[in-house]
């Protein structure tokens, strides 16, 4: 069973640029969630995708967008990068089993915006 993978591991971008982060979900999982974890903070929910549709969104502006593909892999796109976007971005996949399920996290992508 392959776990959740994310790419790239690290990324440095300049303010105003755009970035795309990628996530491959665990085998058999059709739901992907994205989280932003600032230094010293817990992860904050950005959004979730289920069967290629956005299934919920946290308090993030529209410049944070995502996609899920038929193979359930996912992308997080951030436009017009700001310094405060510097964080660890975590992807988590899960099987949709109804009311309660476990989310399996990837290792994260460390984004630095200068």
Residue from 25, 43, 81, 85 in contact with other proteins (CB under 8 A):
43
3-state helix, strand, coil in the chain (%, to 5): 5, 50, 45
Cα(1)–Cα(95) distance, rounded to whole angstroms? 14
Cα-based distances in Å from 71 to 95, 101, 106: 13, 20, 17
Q: Which is nearer to other proteins, 66 or 108 (CB)?
A: 108
Residue from 9, 42, 53, 84 in contact with other proteins (CB under 8 A):
42
Does 56 sit near other proteins (CB under 8 A)? yes
Cα(92)–Cα(71) distance, rounded to whole angstroms? 15
Does 60 sit near other proteins (CB under 8 A)? no
Residue from 7, 17, 27, 41 in contact with other proteins (CB under 8 A):
41
Does 50 sit near other proteins (CB under 8 A)? yes
φ/ψ of 85, rounded to 5, equals: -80, -10
Judged by the rule CB under 8 A, the positions of this chain that interact with other proteins are 4, 31, 33, 35, 40-45, 48, 50, 55-56, 58, 90, 92, 94, 98-108
């Amino acid at each position: 069973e392959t776990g959740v993978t994310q790419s790239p591991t690290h990324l440095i971008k300049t303010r105003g640029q755009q970035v795309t982060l990628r996530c491959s979900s665990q085998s058999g999982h059709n739901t992907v969630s994205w989280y932003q974890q600032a230094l010293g903070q817990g992860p904050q929910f950005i959004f979730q995708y289920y069967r290629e549709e956005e299934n919920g969104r946290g308090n993030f502006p529209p410049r944070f967008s995502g996609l899920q593909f038929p193979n359930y892999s996912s992308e997080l796109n951030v436009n017009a990068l700001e310094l405060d976007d510097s964080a660890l971005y975590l992807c988590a996949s899960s099987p949709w089993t109804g009311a309660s399920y476990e989310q399996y996290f990837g290792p994260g992508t460390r984004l630095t915006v200068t």
